Amino acid sequence: MASLETAAEHERILREIESTDTNCIGPTLRSVYDGQAHGLFMDKLEGRIRNHDREIEKMCNHHFQGFVDSITELLKVRGEAQKLKSQVIETNQRLQNDGKELLSPMEELKLCRLQQRNIATSIDKLTHCLPVLEMYSRLQEQMKAKRYYPALRTLELLEQTCLPQAGQYRFCSIMAENIPRLRTQIRDVSMSDLKDFLESIRKHSDKIGETAMKQAQLQRSVDSTLPHQQRAGSGRRARKEAGANTDLDGHGCSPLSEQDSGILDVEDEEEDEVPGAQDLVDFSPVYRCLHIYTGLGARDTFESYYRKQRRKQARLVLQPHSNMHETLDGYRRYFNQIVGFFVVEDHVLHTTQGLVNRAYVEELWELALSKTIAALRTHSSYCTDPDLVLDLKNLIVLFADTLQGYGFPVNQLFDMLLEIRDQYGEILLKKWNLTFRQILDLDNYSPIPVATEEEYRCITGQFPFQDPQLEKMPFPKKLPFSQFVPKVYSQLKEFIYACLKFSEDLHLSSTEIDDMIRKSTNLLLTRTLSHCLQYAIKKKNVGLAELVQIIINTTHLEQSCQFLEGFISNITNVPPDTVNATKLYGTSTFKDARHAAEEEIYTNLNQKIDQFLQLADYDWMAAQGGGQASDYLSDLIAFLCSTFTVFTHLPGKVAQTACMSACKHLSTSLLQLLLEADVRQVSMGALQQFNVDVRECERFARAGPVPGFQGDTLLLAFIDLRQLLDLFTQWDWSTYLADYGRPTCKYLRVNPHTALALLEKMRDTSRKNNVFAQFRKNERDKQKLIDTVVKQLRNLISAHQS
């Protein structure tokens, strides 16, 4: 069994040796020698070799005859080959001899061909180098001419196309090394131009804004003559067309602009045509720098720098001068700078792609709007001249309209104008306060004399006065009011005109304007004019005649309020009967002034009476009274008669009220004079003289110094004095004490306290007049009677108090 396996193994190894490359036979032989039967293997190998040798021998014997035939044929061919070789050698020798004559021309041809190839190569190289040199020369010329954007384009073409095609030459290397330096130079120079541009527009923003505002003002004057629909978008359309023209063929938009002739090209101001704001500025530095930085791949850097610098300039522009409020030119320069700034930004926004965007411009506008409104609120608060405030309002409206034409929202400016309107109203009130006071101070408080028809028509043209009876009277004649009536009425109309001027161009409806004017006029009437009238009434040294004239004047002014209402309606085109329309408070104002004047008349009249009473010099210890009234009272009555004669011109019941008030005050003052603490004793004779004076007062009252009293109504002012004096002169104490408290009492108006006080003074007089009165029976009886009456009066007072 083992021998079979060994034989099979040896057979496998032999097949492997036969089929395997000799280089890999080593491991196979090693497996033989590692075994124990390598002798047997050698025998098998020898047998296999002998088998192969026999097969080889058989094959050789099979092909031997063909081989012999081939050798025989080859030997036959050898002779022919020798002959051919000799012929070839002979032919070669002849060819060599013949070629010696052509060798020299061929060398010359070879040299010519080499030169020709070198020339072609040189031409080819020069063809590639000449564009480089020409382009570099053009680059130098462009740099020298400050055409930096074309130079940058040339530089890019030189670097990306020409130099790679030219090859590796020293001059190309030098050029390549200079390219970064030239780029840096172009970038720096363009940035320097941009800085010059920014500095220039900062300095010339005033002129740019002034031009834009002139355009807006011109456009507004043109629009005022056009139909509403036609002028709806004219300003905006004109601006867009101007911007479109600039985009298409304006030198500012061309990045290849070759002229840097200056930032501003201001035309003569004397020309009829106002140049456009965009026509004043050469924007080529901005466009050129933008394109250069875009070409350099640094557009973001340029945009960031431009916006940062413009923000800084915006803050400088928005910072007002400390004395801006002093003149209108200060405000105008401030507005011109702001408008100029945003005109430039708007133009850049519409003529560049992304250098500034709408969000950036709106952000700047919000900043400008807030700072501008704050500055105007601060500085306008210092203004005290209404004309300056009105001019400022017109300037703000023009400022707002100008920027609105460029698409900026300006509603907040018009809201602020409403605030300034209130301030303007306060300034007007202060101005008219001085005007009214001056009119009142300079007035003579006398009816206006009119000598001719022209004078009469002139005054009635200023003040709506109609009196058919007065018109029928011949000249010369007098108008019932003084000069301050037409002057005050004219000033009221001037105030209304001033309010109307401020309301113009504020985009308010007629109703809003009417309401504003009426409210302002009400403030003028109820606050300013009312205070001035009160001042004129309350000031020192004002006489009764002046007060009477003031009452007459205020009555006519009150009647003119309806004409003032119609005047406002006419200028605002709002009917006076419109729903929710504000009514004028003129009627109540003049009524209050008239009532104050009436009260002042009553007060002054009472003061005059007091002054006369201070002249009273009664002899309270007189034994017997005189037969006529005291001198001071006669003078007082004469004064009252003359005064009440003037009062007949007063309207209504003012004269009657004044007369009644004067009589009451005279009666009260006389009673106080009688009961004064300084008057310790009163004799019957003094009481009789006092009674004569009271009768004189009653005679004056009975005479009717002022018409309109019914019966003896005016006598009621002295009834308290009359009943008191009758009680003492008639010594009718029994009736008084018996009927006291009854409605039909004869001495109903006599107060027991008053009677007791006067009786005490008479008792003291009775005791001291006669030292020996106690020894006379009549005197003793009289004294007892007085004591009894005093006691009864005290009991009466005590009874009513309990």
The reported pLDDT for the residue numbered 486 is: 92
Contacts of 706 (CB under 8 A, 6+ apart): 644, 647, 648, 655, 656, 658, 659
| Phi and psi angles of residue 449, each rounded to the nearest 5 degrees, phi first | -80, 135
pLDDT at 494: 92
pLDDT averaged over every residue in the chain: 80
pLDDT band at 128 (very low <50, low <70, confident <90, very high): confident
Nearest to 356 by CA among 305, 319, 296: 305
Nearest C-alpha neighbor of 207 from the set 309, 263, 277, 286: 277
> Against a cut of 0.85, is the pTM above it?
no
Q: How does residue 9 score in pLDDT terms, banded at 50, 70 and 90?
A: confident
Output the six-digit token pair for 605: 């009249």
Helix (H) or strand (E) holding 478: strand 477-479
- pLDDT of residue 250 exceeding 50: no
Q: What is the pLDDT of residues 172-215, one digit of tens each?
A: 777 777 778 877 877 788 888 888 888 888 888 888 888 888 88
Distance CA 418, CA 430 (A): 19
Q: What whole-number distance in Å separates Cα of residue 589 and Cα of residue 423?
A: 23
The secondary structure of the chain in percent helix, strand, coil, rounded to multiples of 5, reads 75, 0, 20
Residue 397 in this model has a pLDDT that exceeds 80? yes
C-alpha torsion 255→256→262→264, nearest 10: -50
Please give the biggest Cα pair distance in the chain. 228
C-beta separation of 468 from 493 below 8 A? no
pLDDT tens digits, 254-313? 333 333 333 344 433 434 455 555 577 788 788 888 888 887 788 888 888 888 888 888
What H or E segment, with its residue span, contains residue 415? helix 411-442
Alpha carbons 334 and 336: distance in angstroms, whole number = 6
Q: Are 699 and 629 in contact (CB under 8 A)?
A: no
Q: Are 601 and 654 in contact (CB under 8 A)?
A: yes
Taking residues 638-647, what's their average pLDDT? 82
End-to-end CA distance of the chain: 173
Confidence at residue 260, expressed as pLDDT on a 0 to 100 scale: 34
Kindly state the average pLDDT of the residues 771-786.
61
pLDDT digits (tens, 9 = 90+) for 444-475: 888 888 888 888 888 888 888 887 888 788 88
Give the list of residues 6+ apart from residue 467 with CB closer than 8 angstroms, or none.
480
User: How many other C-beta atoms lie within 10 A of the C-beta of residue 346?
Assistant: 23
Among 398, 378, 370, 379, which residue's Cα sits nearest to residue 327?
379
Q: For 520-563, how does the pLDDT look when each residue is reduced to its tens digit (9 = 90+)?
A: 888 888 888 888 888 888 877 777 778 888 888 888 888 888 88
